[in-house]
């Protein structure tokens, strides 16, 4: 709803935020709201005209008929006039409601597009620190709350026209009638201000709790297997009940405040009508007004009951809309710490590229002080070679490889691919050349083909099958009912962990990257399958492979092994060299081998 350089958040005081929210929304969908407001204005004018018509019919038709001065048949002429006014009134209502709804849904789509663009722009580190439940709440309930005020808003703005026309008409009839009718306006203003003061904190708390409910529910869904396996269903149910009860109480409080406010707003126009009748009787007695004038004024006040209530609708929704909008803005205004560059890099698909890391440092600060993840790491991977990174948990391997495709940026140092600084490359140029495969693989609820190509129609079926063959999963795919057109279900639920990893490797290989990064992406594979895949990649794909691995078998296939410990490179060389000359590497490999052997024994024993 704002330009790229304008903050999404609403500035200033609560009143200024409310006004800014409404003006931004109308400005962004001004064509739609111009029609909706115009239709509402026409509705207001016709409503005022209706009261005048009723007064005219009373004076010119009904009273003369009752006095015997006119025949009953003449009432049809007046009825025809009233019918025409009612038809025009209905048409104006239809146009107002249709275009007000369109504007609201368009604004919701704007919020969701802004959120979606920001979600894919922000780095993985931000997503790891942000609850998926909160993000789902932003896209759903917060986006809807941010636009809830825009449904009644055109009606309210049209009512302004109605009030002006009503004031003109009433003052033209009798100034005392007009003053008695509009004496309720100051009371309405005071009531609305008091309502906003009470409603804003209540609805803010309720909207925050909606996000918490989404977060807890999402965690329960995601951890369904863990919950069942550990027998913590009751604990999860109680946790969800607690936040649900809190939300219920918050909603009840907000509903109670509104329940008190709504009848007051409903009653005020009726009180105004009563005042008009009381004052009108005195004016008729004094000969200053006619019975038709009193009927017109009283009928107008009864008609104003619903339109005037539109002010209450708008004011009732404003606090919720401001809160929802600000929650959306918190995400949209988040600064991306990994800003894409502007330079392009032209590499032929499958052309291997040299990767250089110079003086790389990464650290973070917590309550224990500054923790160094990587320190002064300098490394060169020759184009077309395979390098395996090994080290104990926490050595910095995954952090190091995540810097190459710019999933994060180092605190110091530079990274180049084919002599191009990755920080200066566009996202497209980098993603076309570097493909990162993580240990945890995401499978979309779609076909095998779509999961491999990621909906890119440029890839042919032959290329997809070639990648599946290289990942040693083609035979399995052939057994599926529809081959590569088989839907894999939610998150690939019908696949094993090894099959998901092989599918992810096929997803990478179909792009024939210049640099292929495997961050422990073969951990669920049998050693024989892993070696077969790596051998196929070396033989058929001219790519630079950087691999985080734990098995000696993987290290044997590498041109070079780089060993990390405490964020530093402590050894480099081939597997055969290191296993005979470096005690740390020997201990590392032996530890991995013992762990693998233990897992095999446990598996054979059925544990």
Number of domains in the chain: 2
Q: Is 159 contained in some domain? A: yes
Q: What is the mean pLDDT of residues 180-185?
A: 75
Q: Is residue 345 a part of any domain in this protein? A: no
Q: What is the pLDDT of residues 96-105, one digit of tens each?
A: 889 999 999 9
Specify the pLDDT at position 208. Answer: 74
pLDDT tens, 302-313?
666 666 667 777
Same domain as 506, residue 392: yes
Where residue 412 sits, what CATH number does that domain have? 3.40.50.300
- Choice among 221-235, 256-270, 338-352, 533-547 with the minimum mean pLDDT: 221-235
**What Å distances lie between residue 124 and 120, 143, 370, 445, 475, CA to CA?**
9, 23, 21, 21, 33
Q: Is residue 562 part of a domain?
A: yes
Tell how strand 560-565 and strand 386-390 pair up: parallel
Of 332, 367, 385, which one is at a domain's C-terminal end? 332
Starting at the edge strand found earlier in the chain, the sheet holding 560-565 runs 434-437, 515-519, 544-548, 386-390, 560-565, 568-573
544-548 and 386-390 as β-strands: parallel, antiparallel, unpaired?
A: parallel
Q: Are 220 and 236 in contact (CB under 8 A)?
A: yes
DSSP output for 445-457:
SSBHHHHHHTT-T
Could you tell me if 146 and 110 lie in one domain?
yes
Residue 145 CA to residue 382 CA, distance in Å, equals 54
What pLDDT score was predicted for residue 562? 93
Averaged pLDDT for residues 109-117:
92
User: Is residue 493 domain-shared with residue 559, that is, in the same domain?
Assistant: yes
Considering 298, 332, 366, which residue would you say is the last residue of a domain? 332
Residue 573 covered by a domain: yes
Cα angle for residues 181, 187, 189 (degrees, 5° grid):
110
pLDDT digits (tens, 9 = 90+) for 488-511: 877 777 788 888 889 999 999 999
Boundary (domain end) residue, out of 263, 297, 332? 332
Cα 282 to its chain centre, rounded Å, is 61
Whether residue 71 contacts residue 65, with contact meaning beta carbons closer than 8 Å, is answered with yes
- Contact call for residues 571 and 582 (beta carbons, < 8 A): yes
Same-domain status, 182 and 38: yes
Whether 191 maps to a domain, the answer reads yes
Residue-wise burial string across 493-529, b where 16 or more C-beta atoms lie within 10 A, e elsewhere:
eebeebbbbbbbbbbbbbbbbbbbbbbbbbbbbeeeb
Nearby residues of 539 by Cβ (< 8 Å), 6 or more positions away: none
At residue 348, the pLDDT reads 77
User: Would the pLDDT of 600 be above 60?
Assistant: no
At residue 358, the 3 state secondary structure works out as: strand
How does the average pLDDT of the chain come out, rounded? 81
Same domain, 162 and 38: yes
Compute the average pLDDT of residues 535-561: 86
379, β-bridge pairs:
357
* Residues 6 or more apart whose Cβ sits within 8 Å of residue 77: 61
**Which pLDDT score, from 0 to 100, does residue 416 have?**
92
Query: Cβ(537)–Cβ(388) under 8 Å?
Result: no
Same domain, 279 and 382: no
> What pLDDT was estimated at residue 372?
83
Interior angle at CA 29, CA 25 and CA 35, nearest 5: 115
Q: What percentage of the chain reaches a pLDDT higher than 70? A: 86
Find the helix or strand (DSSP H, E) in which 413 lies: strand 412-417
- Biggest CA pair distance of the chain: 124
Residues 27 and 159 in one domain: yes
pLDDT of residue 607: 45
Compute the average pLDDT of residues 347-373. 83
Range of weakest confidence among 87-101, 211-225, 581-595? 211-225
pLDDT at 224: 67
- Find the mean pLDDT for residues 533-559: 86
Which one has a higher pLDDT value, 246 or 51? 246
Lowest mean pLDDT among 146-160, 180-194, 310-324, 414-428: 180-194
Domain extent for 374? 355-604
Question: 202 and 309: one domain?
Answer: yes
387, 457: one domain? yes
Q: Is 405 helix (H, G, I), strand (E, B) or coil?
A: coil
Residue 446 CA neighbour count, 13 Å, CB half: 11
pLDDT average, residue stretch 203-207: 75
Of the spans 31-35, 152-156, 538-542, which averages the highest pLDDT?
A: 31-35
Please return the burial class of 238, using the count of CB atoms within 10 Å of its CB with bins 0-12, 13-18 and 19+: exposed
200 versus 9: the higher-pLDDT residue is 9
What confidence score (pLDDT) does residue 304 get?
Answer: 64
Is the confidence at residue 606, as pLDDT, over 60? no
> Would residue 1 count as lying in a domain?
no
- Specify the CATH number for the domain of residue 26: 1.20.1560.10
Contacts of 259 (CB under 8 A, 6+ apart): none
* Alpha carbons 108 and 138: distance in angstroms, whole number: 11
Question: Is residue 385 domain-shared with residue 299, that is, in the same domain?
Answer: no
Question: CA 336, 339, 343: angle at the middle one, nearest 5?
Answer: 165
Q: Cβ of 435: how many Cβ atoms within 10 Å? A: 22
Cβ(45)–Cβ(162) below 8 Å? yes
Residue 134 within any structural domain of the chain = yes
Q: Which of 302-311, 370-379, 592-601 has the lowest mean pLDDT?
A: 592-601
Q: In this predicted structure, which of 23-32, 80-89, 258-267, 523-532 has the lowest mean pLDDT?
A: 258-267
Region of residue 387 (left: phi > 0; alpha: psi -120 to 50; beta: else): beta
Q: List CB contacts of 129: < 8 A, sequence separation 6 or more.
A: none
Q: Which residues pair with 568 in a beta bridge?
A: 565
Decide if 339 is inside a domain. Answer: no
Run of H or E residues at 371: strand 369-381
Q: Give percent above pLDDT 90 in the chain.
A: 19
Same domain, 288 and 325: yes
**Cα 585-539-482 angle, rounded to 5 deg:** 110
Residue 191 binned pLDDT confidence (cut-offs 50, 70, 90): confident
pLDDT digits (tens, 9 = 90+) for 282-296: 777 777 777 777 776
Query: In this structure, how many other beta carbons lie within 10 angstroms of the beta carbon of residue 543?
Result: 27
Of 320, 41, 10, give the one whose Cα is nearest residue 159.
Answer: 41
249 and 361 share one domain: no
| HEC letters along 29-65 | CHHHHHHHHHHHHHHHHHHHHHHHHHHHHHHHHHHHH
């Amino acid at each position: 709803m704002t330009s790229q350089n304008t903050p999404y958040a609403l500035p200033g005081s609560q009143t200024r935020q409310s006004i800014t929210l409404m003006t931004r929304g109308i400005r962004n969908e001004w064509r739609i709201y111009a029609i909706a407001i115009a239709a509402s204005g026409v509705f207001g004018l016709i409503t005022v005209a209706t009261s005048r018509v009723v007064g005219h019919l009373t004076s010119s038709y009904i009273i003369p008929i009752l006095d015997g001065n006119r025949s009953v048949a003449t009432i049809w002429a007046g009825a025809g006039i009233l019918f025409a006014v009612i038809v025009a009134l209905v048409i104006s209502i239809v146009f107002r409601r249709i275009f007000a709804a369109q504007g609201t849904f368009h604004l919701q789509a704007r919020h969701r597009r802004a959120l979606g663009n920001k979600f894919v722009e922000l780095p993985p580190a931000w997503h790891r620190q942000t609850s998926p439940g909160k993000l789902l709440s932003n896209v759903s309930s917060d986006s809807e709350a941010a636009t809830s005020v825009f449904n009644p808003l055109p009606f309210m703005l049209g009512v302004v026209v109605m009030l002006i026309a009503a004031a003109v008409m009433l003052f033209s009839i009798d100034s005392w009638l007009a003053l008695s009718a509009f004496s309720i306006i100051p009371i309405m203003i005071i009531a609305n201000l008091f309502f906003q003061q009470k409603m804003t904190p209540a609805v803010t708390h309720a909207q925050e709790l909606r996000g918490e409910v989404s977060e807890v529910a999402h965690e329960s869904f995601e951890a369904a297997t863990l919950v069942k396996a550990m027998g913590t269903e009751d604990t999860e149910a109680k946790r969800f009940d607690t936040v649900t009860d809190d939300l219920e109480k918050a909603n009840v409080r907000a509903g109670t405040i509104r329940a008190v406010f709504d009848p007051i707003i409903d009653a005020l126009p009726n009180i105004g009508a009563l005042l008009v009748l009381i004052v009108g009787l005195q004016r008729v007695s004094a000969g200053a007004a006619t019975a038709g004038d009193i009927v017109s004024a009283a009928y107008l006040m009864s008609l104003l009951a619903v339109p005037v209530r539109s002010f209450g609708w708008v004011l009732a929704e404003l606090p919720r809309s401001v809160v929802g909008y600000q929650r959306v803005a918190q995400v949209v205004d988040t600064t991306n710490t990994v800003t894409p560059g502007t330079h392009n890099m032209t590499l032929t698909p499958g052309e291997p590229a040299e990767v250089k890391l110079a003086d790389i440092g990464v650290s973070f600060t917590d309550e224990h002080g500054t923790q160094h993840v990587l320190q002064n790491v300098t490394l060169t991977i020759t184009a077309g070679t395979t390098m395996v990174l090994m080290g104990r948990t926490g050595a910095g391997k995954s952090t190091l490889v995540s810097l190459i495709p710019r999933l994060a940026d180092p605190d110091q140092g530079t990274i180049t691919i084919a002599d191009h600084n990755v920080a200066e490359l566009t996202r497209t140029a980098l993603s076309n050349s570097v493909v990162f495969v993580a240990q945890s693989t995401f499978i979309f609820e779609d076909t095998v083909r779509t999961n491999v190509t990621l909906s890119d129609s440029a890839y042919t079926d032959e290329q997809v099958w070639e990648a599946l063959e290289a990942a040693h999963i083609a035979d399995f795919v052939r057994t599926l009912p529809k081959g590569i057109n088989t839907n894999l279900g939610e998150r690939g639920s019908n696949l094993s962990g090894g099959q998901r990893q092989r599918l992810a490797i096929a997803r990478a290989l179909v792009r024939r990257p210049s640099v292929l990064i495997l961050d422990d992406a073969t951990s669920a594979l049998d050693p024989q399958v892993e070696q077969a895949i790596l051998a196929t990649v070396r033989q058929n794909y001219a790519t630079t492979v950087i691999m985080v691995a734990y098995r000696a078998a993987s290290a044997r296939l590498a041109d070079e092994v780089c060993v990390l410990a405490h964020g530093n490179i402590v050894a480099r060389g081939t597997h055969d060299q290191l296993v005979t000359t470096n005690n740390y590497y020997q201990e590392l490999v032996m530890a991995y081998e013992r762990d693998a052997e233990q897992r095999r024994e446990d598996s054979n024993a059925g544990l």
